[in-house]
Amino acid sequence: MRSDVIKKGIERAPHRSLLKAMGYTDEEISRPLIGVVNSVNEIVPGHIHLNRIAEAVKAGIRLAGGTPVEFGCIGICDGISMGHEGMKYSLASRELIADSCEAMALAHSFDGMVFIPNCDKIVPGMLMAAARVNVPSIVISGGPMLSLNVKGKQLDLNSVFEAVGSYKAGTMTEEEVLDYEDNACPGCGSCSGMFTANSMNCLTEVLGLGLPGNGTIPAVYAERIRLAKKAGMKIMELVEKDIKPSDILVPEAFENALAVDMALGCSTNSVLHLPAIAHSAGISLNLDMINSISEKVPNLCKLAPSGPYHVQDLYMAGGVQAVMKELSKKNLLHLNLITVTGKTQAENIRDAVVKDRNVIRDIENPYSKTGGIAVLKGNIAPSGAVVKRAAVAEEMLCHSGPARVFDSEDDAIKAIYGGEIRKGDVVIIRYEGPKGGPGMREMLGPTSAIAGMGLDKDVALITDGRFSGASRGASIGHVSPEAAEGGPIAAVRDGDIITINIPEGKLDVNLSQQEIEERMRAWKAPEPRIKKGYLARYARLVSSADKGAILE
């Protein structure tokens, strides 16, 4: 066992003494030691209940003959940190999570690892750590929040953000906004749409590191507790067979994840996280691969914010496994890959059934023949930009309009709420990328304001920052290279005509290359916004969004 290095032989008497100081018996010490990473806290609704998940995991480990060893992990709530300086820390926290999990796992020589995440950066951070540590590992999430029906509308966190825009536009009263506030987030779990957290929890199943149901069983269901116990028992089987993340996270597993990403219409943040996880596994995943898969994989689901359904509906319709079964009809997945079940994906999905064709379309009758995410390139995004195509209104797939340029998210929000944005405008928000922000803030505030004010079918938003999985409309993010690195988005001025063609994957400003180069010769790099602490170090080391915003 890997843990023998801390517990076997007379030389390890001091180590055993420290274990015994915590109450571990000789019998417990002799068994495989399983690290249980619990990201529970009292500031994230997706994590408030994770102690129940951890207790179930530990029960499963003990049932199967192991000794669980629990430790903690940070987690930031994207919703609470949204729209202010706190959001600069959200994406940056992914690296802290990965680093701290790696440090704890390797410093203590655990025989196996169970990762308990639930929300946006915690899931990919833990997956990155699993790939780096490369001991038998399994992920069991806390599960999605429920969505309640209020006056005929299924509510979620995004409903409240958009309600603020509607109030500003005079189409909702303060009392109606309060009604949304009180009912949109009814309890624990990751926010109920196909936002970033649920996207990554679903894709964990597809990558093979989560048991079937990991992404869709609601947080409050007893089935979630049973799944956690199974995860605890299953890690012991993985340890016995020495099935490691490197056996599971092969290139084809990432192709599967991208394919299901397209079918589900996942958050554009998945295009940041999958390359980062792949990098941790020693695999290259670029934006061109994303487009090639999107071209052949149809969009089968319209989950919030793209449509009326929520993750609880996907669960009732058969879950991720049913979506995979549907894609397998046209051989769009690699099904011979081993997973944490100890079986292949083909075996995992053998009995999967689509139970609701409204939620999961037949592959012969998709919402679109291409995937839910598209990568755009052009003279303001030569290295690429990303859009959640499935959430874009048909009339905005091709759009041309004058640029309204803002050098921060805060300035843009003031202009939107101040009624300064007109139909047809293209809002440009720059200097919000990984380096420029720093931290690549999510833009749910501006997109929700635009949608709430009824402009989502008339106004596009382009940024070198990123969007929440809850964003909808023609919201194009991850523009690379970013403005702070001298990317050509820094050359755009108010009134320049921007042309967007999502079906053809194009994003351009109607300027000659000579004009862009002349403007950039006069450009000066801005002073760093933050000059001390973690974010200052992060800004110095972080790569561009097209590389997954990894630290180099």
What DSSP line would sit under 72-135, residue for residue?
E-----HHHHTTSGGGHHHHHHHHHHHHHHHHHHHHTT-SEEEEE--STTHHHHHHHHHHHH-S
103/400 Cα distance (integer angstroms): 49
Give the DSSP letter of residue 413: H
Cα of 61 vs its chain's centroid, Å: 28
386 phi and psi angles, rounded to 5 deg: -130, 140
- Per-residue burial over 66-89, b if 16 or more Cβ lie within 10 Å, else e, is bbbbbeebbbbbbbebbbeeebbb
Q: Is 81 an annotated catalytic residue?
A: no
475/489 Cα distance (integer angstroms): 15
5/27 Cα distance (integer angstroms): 17
29/24 Cα distance (integer angstroms): 7
The one-letter amino acid code at 515 reads E
Sheet holding 137-139, edge to edge: 67-72, 33-38, 112-116, 137-139
Sequence-separated (6 or more) residues with CB below 8 Å from residue 355: 316, 317, 318, 322
With tokens 């005929």, the residue in question is 152
306/112 Cα distance (integer angstroms): 38
476/500 Cα distance (integer angstroms): 10
**Catalytic choice (159, 199, 468, 543):** 468
**Hey, what are 524's tokens?**
């000066």
Strands 112-116 and 33-38: what pairing? parallel
Would you please indicate which residues are annotated as catalytic (active-site) residues? 468
